[in-house]
Structure 1
Amino acid sequence: MSHITDPYHFLQIHLNPDGTITRLREDPRASPSSSDPTLPVLSKDLTINQSHNTFARIYLPRKALDHSPSKRLPLIVFFHGGGFIFFSAASVLCQETCSRMANDVGSIVVSIEYRLAPEHLLPAAYDDAVEALHWIKTQPDDWLSQHADYSACYLMGSSAGANIAYRAGIREAAGGLDRLRPLTIRGLILVQPFFGGTTRCGSERRLENDAVLPPAACDVMWELALPVGVDRDHEYCNPTGGKGDGRLERVGRLGWRVLVTGCSGDPLVDRQVEVAKMMKERGVEVVGHFTEGDSHGIQDRDVLKAKELYGVVREFWASEA
Structure 2
Amino acid sequence: MANLADSQTAPSSDPIVVVDPYKHMEITVNPDGSLTRNPNRFPNTSATPDPDQPNPVLSKDVTFNQSNNTWARIFLPREALGASSGVNKLPLIVYYHAGGFIHCSAATTGFHLFCSKMALELQAIVVSVEYRLAPEHRLPAAYEDAMEALHWIRTTQEEWLKQHADFGNCFLMGSSSGGNIAFNAGLRAAGEVDDLEPLKIQGLILHQPFFGGSQKVESELRVVNDPILVPGVSDVLWELSLPIGSDRDHEYCNPTATKESKLLEKLVSVGWKVLVTGCDGDPLIDRQVGVVKLMEEKGVKVKSHFREGDHHGVDFTQPAKAKALFLVLKEFI
**For this structure pair, what is the TM-score category when the shorter chain's length is used for normalisation?**
over 0.9
Structure 2 residue runs without a partner (length 5+): 1-8, 10-15
Q: CA deviation at 1:36?
A: 4.7
Distance 1:71 1:154 in 2: 17
Alignment of 1:138-177 (within 5 A): 138-175=155-192, 177=193
Question: Please, which of 18, 21, 25 is the counterpart of residue 32 of structure 2?
Answer: 18
Q: How many residues are aligned here? A: 316
Q: CA deviation at 1:211?
A: 2.9
Q: CA deviation at 1:103?
A: 0.4
* Cα displacement string for residues 275-309 of structure 1 (whole angstroms, at most 9, x for unaligned residues): 01101111110110001000001000000101111
Please name the residue that 1:28 is paired with.
Answer: 43
Q: Say if 1:4 and 1:10, in contact at 8 Å, map to a contact too.
A: no
SS of 2:103's equivalent? coil
Distance 1:19 1:131 in 2: 26
Q: CA deviation at 1:174?
A: 1.9
Q: Say if 2:218 and 2:286, in contact at 8 Å, map to a contact too.
A: yes
* Cα displacement string for residues 213-271 of structure 1 (whole angstroms, at most 9, x for unaligned residues): 12410000110000000011100100100133321111112110000001010000000
Q: CA RMSD in A?
A: 1.1
Question: Please, which of 141, 144, 148 is the counterpart of residue 124 of structure 1?
Answer: 141
Q: CA deviation at 1:142?
A: 1.1
Alignment of 1:229-244 (within 5 A): 229-244=245-260
Alignment of 1:66-81 (within 5 A): 66-68=82-84, 69-81=86-98
SS of 1:109's equivalent? strand
Please name the residue that 2:12 is paired with.
Answer: none
Q: Structure 1 length as normaliser, TM-score?
A: 0.96
Q: CA deviation at 1:16?
A: 1.1
SS of 1:288's equivalent? strand
Q: Say if 1:150 and 1:183, in contact at 8 Å, map to a contact too.
A: yes
Please name the residue that 2:266 is paired with.
Answer: 250
Question: Please, which of 113, 119, 130 is the counterpart of residue 113 of structure 1?
Answer: 130
Q: CA deviation at 1:17?
A: 1.1
Select between 283-292 and 206-215 the one with higher mean Cα deviation: 206-215
Q: Say if 1:252 and 1:283, in contact at 8 Å, map to a contact too.
A: yes
Please name the residue that 2:4 is paired with.
Answer: none
Please name the residue that 2:5 is paired with.
Answer: none
SS of 2:33's equivalent? coil
Q: Say if 2:19 and 2:231, in contact at 8 Å, map to a contact too.
A: no
* Cα displacement string for residues 81-100 of structure 1 (whole angstroms, at most 9, x for unaligned residues): 01000100111111111101
> Which structure 1 residue ranges, 4+ long, deviate > 6 Å from structure 2?
none
Distance 2:258 2:298 in 1: 13
Identity %: 56
Which residue type is aligned with residue 273 of structure 2? R
Distance 1:131 1:79 in 2: 13
Q: Say if 1:253 and 1:283, in contact at 8 Å, map to a contact too.
A: no
